[in-house]
Amino acid sequence: MMKRIITILFISIIAFPIIAQNKFAIPLLTDLQKYRNAALQWNGSYLIQISYAKSLGKSVEDAATFFGDQLKITWNKAGGFDSYVQSMLYTMVSLVPYGSVEISEQTENSLIYKVLGLYSELKEGGSVFDVTYEEYIKFLGTAFSRIADYMGAIYLQRDTDDGLIVTIKKK
C-alpha cells in the first residue's frame, strides 16, 4: 500500500512538469487525493514527534503527554461528552484514508468503535523514522486519554488482529 502511494506521488511529481508548458504548475488533485495526502502528513507528524522525543531520551508517553496537554486546550470543553465523542469519531475517520471506523456499541454515556486500517503501512512495514506501530498506537492512546480527561471522559484502546478497539465513557 505504501509503495502504491509513493509510486503515485512520484509519477505525479515527474509527470506534471513534463506535461506542463511551464517549468512548474499547480497540481490538480481530486478531493480524495488531497485527503489521503493530508492523512499521510498528519500520521507522519505523529511519528516525527515520537522520533524527536526518543532522540532526546524521552519516552513515547512523554511525547504523547506533552502533545495531548497542548492539544486538549483547543477542544471545546463546553461541548461536553457528545461533542468530544463526535470529534474523536471525526478524527479517527480522518486518520484512516484506506480503512474505516465502525461503531460496535453505544449508550447515552459510552461508545465502543473499531478502527480498521489504522496506519497499515507502518504496521506492515516495521518502522518509519525509527518509530514502530506499537509506539504509534501507544502515542495515540496516551494523547487521546489526556484529551478525554480534559473533556470529562475516559478513553481506552486495545489493538487487536481485528483492528483498534476504542471505548469512550463519560466520567
Q: What is the pLDDT of residue 148?
A: 97
pTM score of the predicted model: 0.81
Question: Taking 70 as the threshold, does the pLDDT of residue 11 lie above it?
Answer: no
**100: which strand partners?**
116
Q: How does pLDDT run across 114-162, given as a tens digit for each residue? A: 999 988 888 888 888 999 999 999 999 999 999 999 999 999 999 999 9
Q: How does pLDDT run across 12-52, given as a tens digit for each residue? A: 666 555 555 678 888 898 988 988 888 888 888 999 999 99
Q: How does pLDDT run across 53-93, given as a tens digit for each residue? A: 999 999 999 999 999 999 999 999 999 999 999 999 999 99
Q: What length does the chain have?
A: 171
Sign of dihedral through CA atoms 107, 90, 66, 157? Answer: positive
Where does the pLDDT of residue 4 fall: very low under 50, low under 70, confident under 90, or very high at 90 and above? Answer: low
The Cα-based distances of 46 to 36, 145, 149, 170 in angstroms read: 16, 16, 20, 26
Residue 35, H or E segment:
helix 31-55
Q: What is the pLDDT of residue 18?
A: 55
Classify residue 64 by burial, with Cβ atoms within 10 Å: 0-12, 13-18, 19+.
Answer: buried
Domain ranges of the chain: 2-170
